[in-house]
Chains A and B, each alone.
Chain A
Amino acid sequence: MATKMIRDVIVETIDAEMARDPDVIMLGEDIVGGNGSAGGPEAIGGIWSTSTGLWAKYGPDRVIDTPISESAIIGAAAGASLSGKRAIAEIMFADFIGVCLDQIWNQVAKFRYMFGGKSRCPVTIRMIYGAGFNAAAQHSQAIHGMVTAMPGLKVVMPATPADAKGLLTAAIRDDDPVIFLEHKALYATKGDVPEGEYVLPFGHARQVTQGDDVTILATGLMVSFAEAAARNLAEEGIGCDLIDLRTTSPLDEEAILDSVERTGRLLIVDESPPRCGLATDLAALVASKAFASLRAPVEMVTGPHSPIPFARELEAAWLPSRDKIEAAALRLMSYRG
């Protein structure tokens, strides 16, 4: 074990997979940076520092700096992967899915199905998402709800450095398309990371805290918010069973249902607006498969139905928070039906 930041884990994992498999290539805007400028290549090394040094090591045929052309990035990654490569595409801000959605939704996700199961498209689409940087309405969104709803995609949301390693390794080695969502506010998060080969299978949630009173489901940045709330709640004698879903598709239904059957109370924290999202989806799952276990109405802590605002006060008010999670847990505990 070594203590590392998520951003460094991302570079090291891509590096390890590129060294292991010569078919692995990487494409994105400014993942090299500086090409065509006085500063020269690697003047930037990726704006998130998640590709630093890879161009120098693997060269321009494998670490491919692209123009600002998201449709072409995803399309090229898909076409390369259909024809034998294993591409990692980076979308600098997940919000830019708006200008490459066709390539993700109508192309990548559907090839294997439409083509009778006889093609494979091992592409990993890394998208940097999430609020907390006052980046306003077009650079702050979480898009997991949209992609989780699309058949043919796997969706991964790591919350810790160790999970980032194990899940990104699995994503790159997967023969099917994977949407790998990296929260920008988690890049500097440190944690212990196993050395050497470390692969985490999809569809297995992580138990963060254990408790018998309230089940809390969260992903990405929301896991740390919920963990802080769970610590406070524990001091008040409320035990939280906090589950980090890790992947929203496939979904670890068993872990969710087992927990709710034990606690009888469900709280879902989702960094999204409230409608037609992960929170409503999980609430529906529990309502249909564990209804008899519920002792209180499901609580959902989400953003409001608005774009994400800019000002510090406004963005903070938009996001789910530790306080909102605690308040929701207390409502669950005090509910008398």
Chain B
Amino acid sequence: MQLSRDALLRAYRQMKTIRAFEDRLHDEIQTGEIAGFTHLYAGQEACAVGVCEHLGPKDYIVSTHRGHGHCIAKGCDVIGMMKEIYGSREGLCKGRGGSMHIADVEVGMLGANGIVGAGAPLAVGAGITAKGNGTVSIAFSGDGACNQGTTFEAMNLAVVLKLPVIFVFENNHYSEHTGVAYAVGAESMAARAAAFGMRAEMADGIDFFAVHDAMGELIDYCKAGNGPAAIELDTERFFGHFEGDPQRYRGPGELDRIRAERDCLALFRRKVTEAGLLEHGDIDAVDEEVMALIDRAVAEAKAAERPGAEHVVEDVYISY
């Protein structure tokens, strides 16, 4: 599908925003100012953006513990997200969720999730709503979640109920610290999904255009009432499982190689400039704009209101 200049710039801006957000978090986490566990999405931007550029606010996504990219791609407020990760009362979840629980139901983002594999059943439920609305529901999962029984139950139920749910398996080659070659018994995640009785595809997850084209077809297919579908995206994780992970499982030179040869932003830039769709200057301008946004997000997050002990029992329905 040929994208307009505006659509290309928008897609690039989304990918760059994710990359800059994650790179900056990686640096800020070293200062000790950010609490808790953070799982960075850098490297996988073409997956989230290639999927979410097709979606509107009435389409739903359910994300994972590595969810910042999905949140940004689906339209969550970047400054609100940064404030949340800093634990501010002004954060998207008032500082009660943090990195692993960012959600904004208003934009169709039904939550990052700290439990690997917990999201797929939720996406099936959103698929029940989507079926009535003529929209779709996306279950983002990693290669780790694809081994959870919850994911199997969800895939089967989506087939049984013929729901417009797309299971997006982002294969970044590591389930936490264990290689996919060891942990996934099937020939591929797509083959496994196909065995559940749904259409399943594979695409290069660092190529925005490959993801975007494949998803366009699958979304049309699901909206036409054919039931669910799945796609396995071959992608790369530029950081560790969590921030602070020494990554001793990586081979010599592996990180340098994937960063040099498998960078979805560099690939996007090369493709659009070589095809004459955008100039380098257009892309540089987006980079500058995004870096300014991230600077502002961090500055605002550091200055934002902190929660107090009086806020602990808000929104638990009942407290004792």
- The residue of chain A having its C-beta at the shortest distance from the C-beta of B320 within the complex is A251
Segment of A44-52, A62-70, A315-323, A327-335 engaged in the interface with chain B: A62-70
Q: Which of A106-114, A127-135, A237-245, A304-312 contacts B (4 or more CB under 8 A)?
A: A106-114
- A228: interface (CB < 8 Å): no
A77: nearest chain-B partner, CB-CB: B125
Task: A82 to B124: give the CA distance in the assembly, Å.
Answer: 12
B97 at the interface (CB under 8 A from A): yes
Which of B6-14, B152-160, B283-291 lies on the face that meets chain A?
Answer: B152-160
Q: In the complex, what distance in Å separates the CA atom of A176 from the CA atom of B122? A: 16
Please indicate the chain A residues that have their CB under 8 angstroms from the CB of B314 in the complex. 113, 117
- Tell me whether B110 and A82 are in contact (CB under 8 A): yes
User: CA A78 – CA B120 in complex, angstroms?
Assistant: 11
The yes or no answer to B126 lying at the interface (CB within 8 A) is: yes
Contacts A82-B105, A106-B115: A114 and B96 contacting too (C-beta < 8 A)? yes
Which of B113, B129, B131 is most buried by chain A, counting CB atoms within 10 A of its CB?
B129
Contact of A115 among B97, B123, B161 (CB under 8 A): B97
Picked from A75, A116, A249, the residue with its CB within 8 Å of the CB of B150 is A75
Q: How near does chain B come to A124, taking the closest CB pair, in angstroms?
A: 14
Q: Choose among A25, A67, A85, A117 the residue that contacts B315 (Cβ–Cβ < 8 A).
A: A117
B103 / chain A contacts, CB cutoff of 8 Å: 111, 114-115, 118-119
Q: Given that A72-B121, A80-B128, A82-B126 are contacting pairs, would A114 and B105 also be in contact in the complex, using a CB cutoff of 8 Å? A: no
Tell me which of B16-24, B31-39, B87-95, B169-177 binds A.
B87-95
| Nearest chain B CB to A278 CB, angstrom units | 14
Find chain B residues with CB under 8 A from A302 CB. none
> B residues within 8 A CB of A195?
none
**Does A102 reach chain B (CB closer than 8 Å)?**
yes
Once bound together, how far apart are the Cα atoms of A118 and B94, in whole Å?
A: 10
Q: Size of chain B's interface in residues, with CB distance under 8 A? A: 51
Q: Which residue of B lies closest to A115 (CB)?
A: B103
Q: How many residues belonging to A are interface residues under a CB distance threshold of 8 Å?
A: 44
User: Within the complex, which residue of A85, A103, A250 is in contact with B318, where a contact is CB–CB below 8 Å?
Assistant: A250
The minimal Cβ–Cβ distance linking A8 to chain B, given in whole angstroms, is: 27
Asked whether, in the complex, the Cβ of B124 is within 8 Å of the Cβ of A72, the reply is: yes
| CA gap between A115 and B62 in the complex, in Å | 13
Chain A residues with Cβ below 8 Å from B228 are none
Alpha-carbon distance between A301 and B94 when the two chains are bound, in angstroms = 44
- Cα(A154)–Cα(B320), bound, Å: 13
Complex contact A78–B122 (CB within 8 A): yes
Beyond known contacts A80-B129, A152-B317, A250-B318: 20 more, CB 8 A cutoff: A67-B160, A72-B121, A72-B153, A72-B156, A76-B154, A78-B121, A79-B128, A84-B129, A107-B122, A111-B111, A113-B96, A114-B93, A114-B97, A114-B103, A115-B93, A115-B101, A118-B104, A119-B105, A151-B319, A249-B318
A-side residues, CB < 8 A to B, are 25, 61, 64, 66-67, 69, 71-72, 74-85, 87, 102-103, 106-107, 110-119, 151-154, 176, 203, 249-251
4 nearest CB pairs, A to B:
A75-B121, A79-B125, A116-B93, A79-B122
Q: Which residues of B contact A (CB under 8 A)?
A: 60, 62, 84, 91-97, 101, 103-106, 108, 110-111, 113-115, 118, 120-132, 137, 149-150, 153-154, 156-157, 160-161, 314-320
A selection of 20 A-B contacts at a CB cut-off of 8 Å is A61-B128, A67-B156, A69-B156, A75-B154, A76-B154, A77-B125, A79-B122, A80-B129, A82-B105, A82-B125, A83-B108, A83-B126, A83-B129, A83-B130, A103-B118, A113-B315, A115-B93, A118-B104, A118-B105, A250-B318
